[in-house]
Amino acid sequence: MFVTLFAAWLLGAHHSPSLSEFGLFLSFASWALFVAGGLWALYIALEPFVRRQGPKAIVSWTRLVNGDFRDPIVGRDVLVGCAAAAVIEILQAVITNAPGWLGHPLPAPDHVDPRSILGLATTAAQMLSNVSISVFLGFAFLFLLFVLKKIFKSTPVAAAIFALIFGVANVLQNDSRVLAAAGVSVFLAGMLVLLIRFGLLATVVAYFVLTELGAAALTFRGTWYAAPAWMTAAVIGVLVVWGFRTSLGGQPVFGRLSPTD
C-alpha cells in the first residue's frame, strides 16, 4: 500500500527542484505511512478471524503475498477477477444505454478520470492509486461480509444486508434511481459472488479492472489521448494472459494430443 501510494505521488505530482519539494515529500510520505499502517493494523486484527471462519477466502491472496506468483490458484483468481469485471462492465453498459434503445433520453455519461488522458505518467499514477483503493475496498468488503455472517449466522442474510449498506447511498444520490439501482445491483451481485465463491484476490482484481475500464477513454483511433488508453488496455491484457497461463499450472494451452505425448 505504501509503495503504490508513494509511486503514484512520484509519477502524478508536479515536482520542482526547491526546498518546498522536501516539505511536500514529508507530507505525502506521512500520509502514505498513515494509510498503510492503518490497513496493516486492520488486517492483523481481523485476518485471524477470517482464517478461522472461512480460510478459502484468503488462500490465493496469502500465496500471492508470500511470493508464489506461479501458483495456479493465484492465476485462476486473477483470471476470474478480470472476466467478472468484463461481464459487469458489459451489463452496466447495457443498462445505461437501454433507455436510448427504447426512445428515452439517456442519463448523463460517466466522467472519464482526467489522469487517464493527460499522459503516460499520470495514467500510471492513476492506476497505482487504483491498486491501493482496490486493495483497501477488497479488505473492507471481505471483513464486513464475514462480520455480518458472524452476527446473523446466515450467508444470504449477510449478503442482503451487505448490498443494502453499499447500495442505498449510491442509488439515492443518483438522479435516475431505477438505472442506478440496476447498475449497483449488478456490481454488488458480482462482488458478492466473487467474495463468497473465490475470495479476496479475485475481488480486488475485479474492482481494479472494472475501475480502469470505467476511468480510461478507450479508443481504437489514433487521437491525442490514445496512448494512455492503450496502456490501460495493455495492463489489463497482461493480467488476463498471465492469469490464464499461470492457472494452467504448467500444462499445455491446448492440452495433450494423446495420453502418451
> In this predicted structure, what is the pLDDT of residue 61?
92
Does 50 score more than 90 pLDDT? no
Quick check: is 120 in a domain? yes
In a domain, 39, yes or no: no
% of the chain at pLDDT higher than 70: 84
d(CA 11, CA 105): 40
**What's the mean pLDDT in 34-39?**
90
Answer whether residue 23 is part of any domain: no
Residues 6+ apart with CB under 8 A from 102: none
Cα 73 to chain center, whole Å? 18
* Residue 190 placed within a domain: yes
pLDDT tens, residue by residue, 210-261:
988 887 767 767 676 777 788 888 999 999 999 999 999 878 777 665 555 5
Residues 6+ apart with CB under 8 A from 33: 2
Q: What is the pLDDT of residue 257?
A: 55
Pairwise CA distance, residues 29 & 5, whole Å = 9
In angstroms, the first-to-last Cα distance of the chain is 45
**Mean pLDDT throughout 154-183?**
78
Domain count, the chain: 1
Mean pLDDT of the chain: 83
pLDDT tens-place string over residues 73-120: 999 999 999 999 999 999 988 887 776 676 666 555 555 566 666 778
Given this model, what pLDDT does residue 23 score? Answer: 84
Q: How confident is the model at residue 49 (pLDDT cuts 50, 70, 90)?
A: confident
At 204, give phi and psi (nearest 5°): -60, -45
> Does residue 9 sit within a domain?
no
Residue 163 lies in a domain: yes
The pLDDT value recorded for residue 18 is 79
Q: Output the furthest CA–CA distance in the chain (Å, rounded).
A: 69
Question: Which range (41-45, 58-62, 69-73) has the least confidence?
Answer: 41-45
Sign of CA dihedral 53, 56, 58, 59: positive
Residue 4's identity, in one-letter code, is T
**157 Cβ partners below 8 Å, 6+ apart?**
148
Residue 201 has pLDDT above 90, yes or no: yes
Residue 45 lies in a domain: no
If DSSP codes are grouped into helix, strand and coil, which group holds residue 248? coil
In a domain, 6, yes or no: no
Range of the domain at 96: 55-247
CA 16 from centroid of its chain's CA atoms: 32
